[in-house]
């Protein structure tokens, strides 16, 4: 029922408003929402951030072979 009413309302809008409606729909789809229980949706990056540990090695990305396999440092 709501979908039918929304379609009717959108159909009655002038053409230039349709672009705004499209942008609104895209924003709503990407917006971080909360479910009915009040829980935020699962986000893998939140979990990575929680588990990240500073191991004190500043050149790890450049010399990962050295730290993993004992190769010479670059």
Q: Where are the alpha helices (DSSP H) in 2-74?
A: 2-11, 15-30, 44-51, 64-69
Give per-residue pLDDT as tens, 5-14: 888 888 888 8
Q: Residue 65 has what pLDDT?
A: 92
Q: Report which of residues 44 and 69 the model is more confident about.
A: 69
Give per-residue pLDDT as tens, 16-61: 888 888 888 877 776 666 666 667 777 778 878 888 888 888 888 8
């Amino acid at each position: 029922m709501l979908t039918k009413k929304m379609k009717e309302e959108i159909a009655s809008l002038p053409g230039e408003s349709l672009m705004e409606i499209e942008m609104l729909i895209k924003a709503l789809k990407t917006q971080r929402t909360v479910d009915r229980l009040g829980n935020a949706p699962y986000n893998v990056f939140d979990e990575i951030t929680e588990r990240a540990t500073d191991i004190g090695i500043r050149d790890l990305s450049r010399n990962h072979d050295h730290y993993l396999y004992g190769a010479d440092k670059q």
